[in-house]
Structure 1
Amino acid sequence: MTEMISRGEMRRALSRQPDDQVWRSMLGWSRTLAPFWFEAIDRFAAVAAIPERRHLRCRTAAQESFERMDGWWFGRAELVKARRDEVDSAISLVLNTAHYNQIANLIQAPTAQHVGSALRVTLHVASGIWGREQLPSVVAGFIYDLACARTLFPGDPAALLQHVPPRFFTDGTDYCDNHHLLFVEPANLFDLRAEADAVLAEAQRIWLDFDIPQAWDMPSDIWTRSYPGTFQSMHFGSMHDFHAR
Structure 2
Amino acid sequence: MKVLVAVKRVIDYNVKVRVKPDQSDVDLANVKMALNPFCEIAVEEAVRLKEQGIADEVVVVSIGPKAVQEQLRTALALGADRAIHVEHDSMPDSLSVAKLLKGVVEKEQPQLVILGKQSIDSDNNQAGQMLGALTDMPQGTFASKVSLADGSVEVTREVDGGLQTVKLQLPAIVTTDLRLNEPRYAKLPDIMKAKRKPLETLSADDLGVTISSNIKLLKVEPPAERSAGVKVADVDELIDKLKNEAKVL
TM-score higher than 0.5 here? no
Larger radius of gyration: 2
Instruction: Provide TM-score, normalisation by structure 1.
Output: 0.26
Q: Name the one with the larger strand percent.
A: 2
Q: Name the one with the larger helix percent.
A: 1
Instruction: Provide TM-score, normalisation by structure 2.
Output: 0.26
